[in-house]
Amino acid sequence: MRIAVVGDIHRHWGPRDVELLDGRGLDLVLFTGDLGDMLHRGTLDVARQIARLRTPAVLVPGNHDGTHPLGVLAEGLGVLRRRPGASRRAARRLDALRHALGPVALGGYSLHPFPRHGLTLVVGRPHGMDERWLTFGQAVGARHGPEDHASSCALLRRLVDRAPPGDLIFLAHDGPAGLGSGDRDPFTFYGRRDMGDPDLADAVAYAAERGRRVLAVVAGHLHHVGTDRDWWVRRDGVLNVNAARVPRVFEDGGRTVRHHVEIRIGAGRADVEQILLS
């Protein structure tokens, strides 16, 4: 099975990406979210372009999808985290995003089975951006139930229990906690702290405890340029990938290239490589 993972887009997406990805004979395309820019401009335009993909695809909303820039600031600072009407406004924005994506699945605490490949995709909590608390708890709680890490852990464990037999892959916006806080670790906040989500890490560990084979965990959020951090690591047999090469469209050797990573699954193992197309 061949899976493309497109990291945080931030408006770097167009018809050429659709053409290139559809031409690669992929089985699935995964998106880690953050379609628009930091002021959330262009989100729906990018979503409408993604909707043109013929290849099956799943997207998890990032902290810049279905939210508001001031809300992102509040969550990052840990102030005014409960805002009147925030969940209602977020619901409208997410409904608009779902409509714009067309056939592309908008994931979040969801299971996406691929029985032909003996695989189930588990999509984790949407809007993840900070390990210290469950970000956008009002919106997440109104749409899915959890408003704190404990209730999110419980829901993710129930998803694991409901997953059909076979291997598992997890998709989230932010990666799992526990992969380190050093300068080169995949989900470190500039070497100051491990910014991975504890509920995602708990779900992966729980799946292993239940005898499920987790092949990979794919996410984004913590931006890199491909050489400034280890964008993939393998721990306890699980491939962990940070696909958020930002910007994903850039100049390389005098040509404009478009970045994604490709995961290949075979013989009970997942491997990954960086792909640059022009």
CB 51 within 8 A of CB 101: yes
Question: What pLDDT, on the 0 to 100 scale, is given for residue 186?
Answer: 96
* Domain edges within the chain: 2-277
pLDDT in tens, 254-264: 999 999 999 99
Question: What pLDDT, on the 0 to 100 scale, is given for residue 80?
Answer: 72
Q: How confident is the model at residue 191 (pLDDT cuts 50, 70, 90)?
A: confident
Statement: residue 24 has pLDDT above 90 = yes
Question: What pLDDT, on the 0 to 100 scale, is given for residue 82?
Answer: 79
Tokens of 88: 């209602």
Statement: residue 29 has pLDDT above 90 = yes
Q: Could you tell me what percent of the chain has a pLDDT over 90? A: 94
Q: How confident is the model at residue 226 (pLDDT cuts 50, 70, 90)?
A: confident
Tokens of 24: 């690669």
Mean pLDDT to the nearest integer, 139-161: 96
Whole-angstrom distance, CA of residue 8 vs CA of residue 43? 12
Q: Domain 2-277: which CATH class?
A: alpha beta
Question: What pLDDT, on the 0 to 100 scale, is given for residue 277?
Answer: 97
Closest CA to 275 of 255, 264, 265, 260: 260
Strand order across the 110-114 sheet: 110-114, 119-123, 167-171, 214-219, 238-242, 232-235
pLDDT in tens, 71-104: 999 999 988 777 777 889 999 999 999 999 999 9
pLDDT in tens, 56-73: 999 999 999 999 999 999
